[in-house]
Amino acid sequence: MHLRTKRRLLWGVVGLLSFLVLIQAYELATGDLVDWGVKFGVALVVGIAAAFVTGRSQKRLIEEGSAPAADETENERS
């Protein structure tokens, strides 16, 4: 698996789990319950969006030269 693909997937998982934590905090704070289907449906959309945005922004940063390629070490750049 390519490193960029792995990064996209991991950020997608981070987004998905972050949304689930926030919705649980909302339920605890308000006492309102959110349907399981809605929770996981929206969490899936958030995870996909996080993965997409990560891939697009990483590609854009590397193409513009704003950031050094993350795969290079300091010794390889010279």
Beta carbons within 10 angstroms of residue 75's beta carbon: 6
Q: Give the pLDDT confidence score for residue 24 in this predicted structure.
A: 96
Res 78 pLDDT > 60: no
pLDDT digits (tens, 9 = 90+) for 5-17: 898 999 999 999 9
Q: Give the pLDDT confidence score for residue 60 in this predicted structure.
A: 75
DSSP the chain: --HHHHHHHHHHHHHHHHHHHHHHHHHHHH-----HHHHHHHHHHHHHHHHHHHHHHHHHHHHHTSS--TT--TTTT-
Q: Give the pLDDT confidence score for residue 32 in this predicted structure.
A: 94
pLDDT digits (tens, 9 = 90+) for 33-76: 999 999 999 999 999 999 999 888 877 777 776 555 555 566 65
Q: What is the pTM of this model?
A: 0.70
DSSP type of residue 40: H
